[in-house]
Structure 1
């Protein structure tokens, strides 16, 4: 199977705390990446507001790139959790830290990168 690419935005959820480079993707993204229906027996146990759930888990199976118009892409190898209960890609605190993302204002969607000049503010899509 050839390399598959999905281009889209990801949300950063401050409550998605992980010990590894995890992202959660919805089923429609998993289909495009060839990860749905599940081809793994590995499961991730996630604590959610509605209780614990077991979801398909693919360890170190993808590269997430942060692509910005004013700099070279930053990439991190990620573990993928397929979550049929979400409709957007969610990036964990671990991945945000690896990419150097610093949230400045959750409500307004303002952020910057750790190596951006201090006065730089980026706006979420």
Structure 2
């Protein structure tokens, strides 16, 4: 069998047998690396970052005094929370949405967080 064909079948067998979440994480990480964005696993409190990833979950906390939209952001290497203060809903911010985010990393309850990040919605293509 030709080396190119063997490589194709090896990649195909890997895609059929590996965990879908792991493959998705690898795809997101490689896209992020290709764009020059930082990786969530490499950032720490106080860093100004630009990252590309996907929202895993979005929650609106609509208590009148503490309205906020909170989302779990995953870039293929690590997760962090995005929190938009004073908002009850943001158009386009929903589970599964791919984003480019910019902001300063903070820490809340031992987890990474970015408050009021700049964001751009990205196509999932």
- Report the TM range for the smaller structure's normalisation: under 0.3
Q: Structure 2 length normalisation: TM-score?
A: 0.24
Higher relative contact order (CA 8 A, sep 6+): 1
Q: Structure 1 length normalisation: TM-score?
A: 0.24
Richer in helix (by share): 2
